[in-house]
Amino acid sequence: MKDRSRKVTIVALLLIAVGAVFAMRERPAAAPETGRGLSSASVLRAPVLSGRPRLVDLGAQQCIPCKMMAPVLEDLRREYAGSMDVVFIDVWKDPGAGEAHGVDIIPTQIFFDASGRELYRHQGFIGKADILSKWKALGYEFKAVRAQPAD
């Protein structure tokens, strides 16, 4: 009798979990966290409007390499404000953004020129110096508007 009640409990828990998954899928996705107040739908249009090149990082707040990217993106956003736009989109909160940008692996960084044309794509963690080096290779050299304090 114990085995039967255990099986019934397991089946009931599985049904509840499946129901929760379906309920969550039916809810509209929360607005992605872009760091600039932009929805993921406007990321491709925004470079044209801002007139600046744009680095878009597609990841998730809970993935380890994505967490490592967060301070890099914040430094770039702060140091090069007005020269380049830096945007983060959580593809776990907004899966359509990952699909729209053809993301297979997170984090993925996409470098866009000022007109919104994709110039380069990188998958995985990439450091600040490597990002700036890639921008330079793509023909962009940015001057920091705010120097980083020495550690």
Cite the active site residues.
63, 66
Of 70, 139, 57, 151, the closest CA to residue 106 belongs to 57
The b-or-e profile of 79-91 (16+ CB within 10 A means b, else e) is bbeebbbbbbbbb
Q: Amino acid identity of 104?
A: D
129/108 Cα distance (integer angstroms) = 17
